[in-house]
Structure 1
């Protein structure tokens, strides 16, 4: 299966999962409380267009006043304890110090719950199965310490948080741990911040499986927009899809942060819009089951220089994303099999795609294919400070340089061993780069095929040279005899060497590490325009 077909299959599977989820939760999703004002921003409006199934209890019938002054905690708690469906009506502000929601409950209605100063509990603490919270405003009022707006931290299942406006909480706006089967959709979570500690996320979920976080607006929280941590078990999933996440600019923060600890389930980050954040999507776990597809990531256009990574991933699939105004477009330490394919990256300060210090197992594979990188200092950069890059495929990419010069593909290493092994670099377009392919230690490139790379096929040399990425080497020996050392043999690799000067100096072509050239250790080009083309079977070289 080709990489493109593989990506298509992944996107199809995600679509199927989302369709199934939407059908399962369709009865629970109503008109959002967040309205797009013709592209000019977002406004929150209270709307009560939901009729709960079965009898509902109005909290006012239990003595709640809702004037924004009186403490309504006990009255509302009584209504929750005695009824499965509780109406918190529109147009009222109910002051509470924390509500506990047991199993089989629905809270709804368009009203506002506001945290009382001196509170020590989350505004709403879910402690039972089958709970729905929808069409409510939860105002943390920036009081207390470490208090979420909505919290579920218990081994429970079937939680739905829909169309809520959560803000100014002193912990995460929505915090969910240990819960199975979760829908968090069409909420607006913003300006949540711990008063002294470095946390306060829009949405935080941990040890939570079969979760969908979709179509939320997350803005200007102290820490990250959406955080997903801990392991997702086999045959389970987390989907983060079609959210708008803006304004998370503190050091080491991101629009979406994943830390899944060798995840075995399926985690899909699809179709999100991340704007004005320090980092876009950070998948810091060593995991091959994370799929990051079709996201639009735009850093801070006014920042000089641009900072942060658009996407950081150690494994999985990173495909068809659009990234602008970041320090790097896509970064990775390639700890596991990783496919970076079909992304569009523009206007980044550093590298379009940067693979750093990999620790790959020989069974892993790194594929960088069909990406477009425009206006970057480096198009694709491999910085191999330790370990090796195995089974590398770089194909079909196009790079255009940033003003002041750039490299299409740069390979850096500070090792004595082969840093690149079993590699194919083919059919890339590096014509607009100052230097198309460069390496600070060409001799450390192991078995590799370089073929049909536009702008990188031909190189003229006038000194002794070890062939690394070149397909054709033109040798000027007018200054004295020259020796060209062939690269390490790779099955299918073809190299052409031509003497271009008219001097009597000989060009000697020698093997790299004991392999032969038509059974000999060396081959000579004595005269101008004499040429040798050799091909390899992976063990030795043969004159064509």
Structure 2
């Protein structure tokens, strides 16, 4: 305390506490209340009291003083300065002694400061209102209140309560217009946490039994943030909900020997979870009731064998219908991302909806497909779904032999290694594909169904790239060919990745080998020489004789040949190098020119002959050119005439000597001679 001879300080109505937040550079802070001595100022960093590392000035000053820290408090550090006085009296007045005003003032100042300190502390405690007279303000004894909460009985007196059914008064109200009071226990029972049953969530402890116990006891189960390790299947029944906080609520399967979640009854809701591992992460099958109107939303599945499986199972009366999946991501599935199947005698999974679901390999191998609809009918629909799978997959989307009326709306397919974007297996029926974005280098639609599908705007950037597809009726506005450009010499073996081959042999003679016919059933190829050199391109066959059983030669610029494989051999179907079609006839009398060939070599050795052209306006004649030549040395004339008409250039034309020939053309009204010798 101050010496009696000093001028006493005043006690203003200033709260004896001040708080600051450090910025990492400031060292000096003021306190606006008086202290009697430096040790009366308590210094706290957060909740920790500091005893040193600073200097205090201003003790005994009414206006307070300053504290200077040796080191600036850290940025964000909370600093509390408050007056803390011991509640004591250490002075005494002696009978008949001096009665100094300074001493009295100091004593009174200390008393006021102590009362300010007590008054401030008193504001921080719970207390009864002034108008109430408590009948009991004593806490229950230690044993009674252990592991309980403080409550109040019907008289408003303190009691110790357990958070169980003993809490029955309507003492909870959420607030807001129309809100009503509820029993607290009823409010807490709206849903339960798996931690209420002992789940740990550290990724190490086995939480299986805790979660199973929660599912056995309640219908709405909350999975808080954490990693909950399980070693057995969690089975959900009718109207149960299992929900979490999204990617931070994780079910970690101990291995892949079991399914993570099985939904065996109707109206189940699963949302906001992450599932790691498992054989099948989420399997739906009707065990005791139909599995209908289940909703799976905002679920991420990591590294399962199969992400989601809908199984028609064994009983047609317990089907798997009308279930909904939204924003479900399956990463790194080993077999399938999403699988619709029927493992027994039950019905196929029907009328299920998948919206914005993704199967994503992330480079991991996969033996099946992103989406495999093996079985399922009646509008199983997949809207805005994505299959981005490894090149080891069988397909991005596969529509199986037991699938019908499947709908793909704006699907995204991506892969490599010729993985088909959408594969339609033989037996699939009435598939609808709308607005397919096909990024895989395989076929946009590989159709083995015999055309049992409808596609619109399917395939990007190459629209509707089809493989083994039967088209009953097709109308194209623009026909494009996959074309290869070859400029080399020596030998090259063609494959079936292109239908048109433009080849330059400018660098030297070149042998072009067609693939084996069995590897190109139904394939048509065009081979054309594009350079002006004299180097010949020889078209033959890898391991065979060549088209039409022989080698084919392209010797002049723009020579070409079109060939077709029937699976056993290659045939020439057109070429500017093909021998002309020729008919040979030896006879007499009238011989009708049927226009089936371009050239008729006739022998009249046995007697005079009339070669009669069809009428100039006959369908087989209009625009056609035909050559007729006498081949024999006899004097028997061959007369070229016209059925019902005057003949070429208006009259019958005689061919009287060996090798005489005439070439005529019809314009639809008359035959004209274009060459004669």
TM bucket normalised to smaller: 0.5 to 0.7
The question of whether the paired residues in 2 share the 8 Å contact of 1:88 and 1:108 is answered with yes
CA 1:505 to 1:216, structure 2 compared with 1: closer, same or farther past 3 Å? Answer: farther
In structure 2, the gaps of 5 or more residues are 1-186, 313-319, 342-347, 485-497, 505-520, 525-557, 567-572, 584-594, 604-618, 632-641, 654-660, 670-677
2:338 to 195, 203, 227: 203
Distance 1:208 1:495 in 2: 61
Distance 1:250 1:132 in 2: 34
Pairs within 5 Å for 1:95-494: 95-97=229-231, 98-109=233-244, 110=246, 111-117=249-255, 120-140=257-277, 147-154=279-286, 155-169=290-304, 171-178=305-312, 179-193=320-334, 200-206=335-341, 207-220=348-361, 222=366, 223-232=368-377, 236-250=378-392, 253-261=394-402, 263=403, 266-277=405-416, 278-300=419-441, 310-314=445-449, 315-323=452-460, 343-345=463-465, 354-355=468-469, 366-370=472-476, 374-376=480-482, 401=500, 404=503, 463-464=580-581, 477=599, 480=601
The question of whether the paired residues in 2 share the 8 Å contact of 1:475 and 1:498 is answered with no
The question of whether the paired residues in 2 share the 8 Å contact of 1:458 and 1:474 is answered with no
Distance 2:602 2:332 in 1: 70
Q: CA deviation at 1:285?
A: 3.4
SS in 1 for 2:336: coil
CA 1:402 to 1:292, structure 2 compared with 1: closer, same or farther past 3 Å? Answer: farther
The question of whether the paired residues in 1 share the 8 Å contact of 2:235 and 2:262 is answered with yes
Pairs within 5 Å for 1:460-539: 463-464=580-581, 477=599, 480=601, 496-499=622-625, 504=629, 527-531=662-666
Distance 2:352 2:499 in 1: 40
The question of whether the paired residues in 2 share the 8 Å contact of 1:275 and 1:298 is answered with yes
SS in 2 for 1:75: helix
CA 1:72 to 1:299, structure 2 compared with 1: closer, same or farther past 3 Å? Answer: same
Q: CA deviation at 1:66?
A: 0.7
TM-score (norm 2): 0.43
The question of whether the paired residues in 2 share the 8 Å contact of 1:292 and 1:317 is answered with yes
Q: CA deviation at 1:318?
A: 2.8
CA 1:476 to 1:377, structure 2 compared with 1: closer, same or farther past 3 Å? Answer: same
Q: CA deviation at 1:74?
A: 1.1
CA 1:367 to 1:132, structure 2 compared with 1: closer, same or farther past 3 Å? Answer: farther
Distance 2:241 2:295 in 1: 9
The question of whether the paired residues in 2 share the 8 Å contact of 1:474 and 1:497 is answered with no
Report the equivalent of 1:4: none
2:205 to 70, 85, 98: 70
Distance 1:496 1:67 in 2: 89
In structure 1, the gaps of 5 or more residues are 1-51, 194-199, 301-306, 330-342, 346-351, 359-364, 379-398, 414-432, 442-455, 467-472, 483-492, 507-516, 535-544
- State the Cα deviation string for residues 164-204 of structure 1 (Å, max 9, x = none): 110111x20111112111212211101122xxxxxx21111
CA 1:58 to 1:321, structure 2 compared with 1: closer, same or farther past 3 Å? Answer: same
Q: CA deviation at 1:370?
A: 3.1
TM-score (norm 1): 0.53
Distance 1:88 1:100 in 2: 15
Who wins on radius of gyration, i.e. which is larger? 2
CA 1:134 to 1:370, structure 2 compared with 1: closer, same or farther past 3 Å? Answer: farther
1:58 aligned onto 2:183: no
The question of whether the paired residues in 1 share the 8 Å contact of 2:197 and 2:214 is answered with yes
SS in 1 for 2:391: coil
Q: CA deviation at 1:529?
A: 4.2
The structure whose residues are more often strand, as a share, is 1
Counting matched residue pairs gives: 339
Larger RCO (CA within 8 A; separation ≥ 6) = 1
Q: CA deviation at 1:217?
A: 1.8
